[in-house]
Amino acid sequence: MGDLLGSLVVILVVGAMIGKLIADSGAAQRIVTALMKSFGRKHIVWALVITAFIIGIPLFYGIGFVLMVPLVITLSYKFNIPAVYIGLPMLAALSVTHGYLPPHPSPTALIKQYHADLGLTLLYGFIAAIPTVIIAGPLFSLTLKKYTQKPLATFAGRTMTDEELPGLADSLVTALLPVILIAGGTIAGLSGSPGNWLVKALTVLGDPNVALLVTLAYALYALVLKKGKKLGPCMNSLSDAVKDISLILLIIGGAGALKQILIDSGTSDQIAASMKSFSTHPILAAWGIAALIRVCLGSATVAGLTTAGIVAPMLVNSSVSPSLIVLATGAGSLMFSHVNDSGFWMFKEYFNLSIKDTIKTWSAMETIVSIVGLLMVLLINFFISH
């Protein structure tokens, strides 16, 4: 448990704090408002998808869901547009960032388990995520206009006044700064000039722990102090963020213990040996096992972390990039969300759908996210291995 959690706790806890600040300060509302003005009512789906993708990077899925869905319901009533039609693409973007991109719990823990490079995983993750979001989001939503059920008005969010909201630049920088710093550190590491002072500085700032702490400091200034707010209430909010993620930390710690049991008992080696006899490609094995566990158990995080304990021994002599195995596992862990997944019921209740319609919309979207993600990972692997 300590081996897995030791290097992850700072990343996950600070990431949760940043997400809480973005949610409470109105930064997400500022971004969606600015994009709505740019895209207009006709392209409202794209405005919501881009917003969800941007804020989904630092924001944990549950927080992103309860933050963005009330905005969707409010816009649905305001413009008389089916809520499912504009809401599901936004949730597709949140789902992809949750499954593919650090600093989210599952991909971050998988990077540790597979000994992958965080910056490279982030780069490949963006390449895989963008087409996946477009196909599972705006393109799939074209078939959803017939779902005209009105969500409950009580779920419509409270819209903050323009004076209460932080600036657009501050909102965007807070959401994207971790990605920019980590990407800068990765590029600096590939430059081949380790002695250069600029490379050294970028490498330090690109360390995930440092990048997130710098972002947290910036967020506290830009979203709290700059708006004339007191730090006291904000500290209480950050404490709540730590409480929100405590259960996830316990799940990840438990997954670390389970991984060690699988390794020490020889179970992982036996499974790896049996998989080799079937000549299964590591990417397909990681995706398939994660997908099977996800369908059986419902939790994407548990599916991903359990898969890592099984698949990791297969990678010892494999030429496949560990970063791609992280993404394949993440894609598999999102497969066909149904009645054993809390996200399924949240979507059903918020959007006022029947179980049958929830399967046709939500479950179908998650399946598309999973399958297209696998295809993108295989495509990336083809290009980097040739």
Closest Cα to residue 373, out of 323, 311, 329? 329
Distance CA 212, CA 207 (A): 9
- Report yes or no on whether pTM surpasses 0.85: no
List the domain boundaries for the chain.
Answer: 2-152+161-384
| Plot region of 279 (φ>0 → left; ψ -120 to 50 → alpha; else → beta) | left
Residues 332 and 376: beta-carbon distance below 8 Å: no
- Dihedral of the CA atoms 222, 223, 224, 225 (nearest 10)? 20
pLDDT tens digit at each of 386 positions of the chain: 887 788 778 888 888 888 888 888 888 888 888 888 898 888 999 999 999 999 888 777 877 887 788 888 888 888 889 999 999 999 999 999 999 998 788 899 999 999 999 889 999 999 999 999 999 999 999 999 999 998 877 666 667 888 889 999 999 999 889 888 988 887 887 776 777 888 899 989 988 889 989 999 999 999 999 988 888 888 988 998 888 788 878 887 887 787 778 778 877 667 666 765 667 889 999 999 999 989 888 888 888 988 888 888 778 778 899 999 999 999 999 999 998 888 898 899 889 999 999 999 999 999 999 999 999 999 999 999 87
Q: What integer pLDDT is reported at residue 5 of this predicted model?
A: 81
User: H or E segment at 147?
Assistant: none
Q: What integer pLDDT is reported at residue 157 of this predicted model?
A: 60
Distance CA 298, CA 362 (A): 14
Q: What integer pLDDT is reported at residue 296 of this predicted model?
A: 85
Residues 309 and 372: beta-carbon distance below 8 Å: no
| DSSP conformational letter for 41 | G
Around 102, how many Cα atoms within 13 Å sit in the side-chain half-sphere? 34
Q: What integer pLDDT is reported at residue 272 of this predicted model?
A: 62
Give Cα separations from 7 to 3, 4, 20, 307, 357 (angstroms): 8, 7, 22, 20, 42
**Which residue spans within 141-277 are E strands per DSSP?**
none
Burial of residue 247 (CB within 10 Å: 0-12, 13-18, 19+) is: exposed
Q: What integer pLDDT is reported at residue 271 of this predicted model?
A: 67
Give Cα separations from 253 to 121, 246, 377 (angstroms): 22, 11, 27
Q: What integer pLDDT is reported at residue 154 of this predicted model?
A: 66
Q: What integer pLDDT is reported at residue 276 of this predicted model?
A: 59
